Amino acid sequence: MNPSSTDPFCDSCKKFKPVIEFMGHDAKNTPKRFQTCNYCRQRFSNKRKRSANTDDTFLANDLEIVELDCLSEIVVKFLESTQSGLHFHYGISIRDYNGSDKELANEIVKLIENADEYN
């Protein structure tokens, strides 16, 4: 069975996959549909287990780096795919940004506001 655009989107591997690949159990062993596919959740779980003693290193190494220009698109995808609460971590590449730190912060705020239509 081929996944279609009506199937859930995994923000980690950036693929549409069948709903069954997002199903699992929470800490109380209750069936739950996750936002990340089983493969990616297992991969991240294995990473956490390997680096349990180095939390700071884990945070630095586990972040997906995105371009500043893509930030709005990523936020929109998260907003469209979540029913409650929004929690995600990304590193933002600013290698091509020439403004001050304050201008950069304002640009990030503006991109997020545009994505969630909050003004």
Same domain, 6 and 34: yes
Higher pLDDT, 81 or 104: 104
Same domain, 95 and 45: no
Same domain, 40 and 91: no
Q: The domain containing residue 46 runs over which residues?
A: 1-60
- Residue finishing a domain among 60, 83, 111: 60
Same domain, 41 and 82: no
Q: What is the mean pLDDT of the chain?
A: 76
Average pLDDT for 54-74 = 65
Same domain, 37 and 7: yes
Rounded alpha-carbon distances, angstroms, from residue 95 to 29, 62, 66, 68, 104 = 44, 19, 11, 9, 12
- pLDDT score of 67 more than 70: yes
Same domain, 40 and 76: no
Same domain, 4 and 49: yes
Q: What distance in Å separates the CA atoms of residue 33 and residue 8, rounded to the nearest whole number?
A: 10
Higher pLDDT, 58 or 38: 38
- pLDDT score of 119 more than 70: no
Same domain, 54 and 67: no
Higher pLDDT, 29 or 86: 29
Instruction: Count how many domains the chain has.
Output: 2
Higher pLDDT, 8 or 80: 8
- pLDDT score of 117 more than 70: no
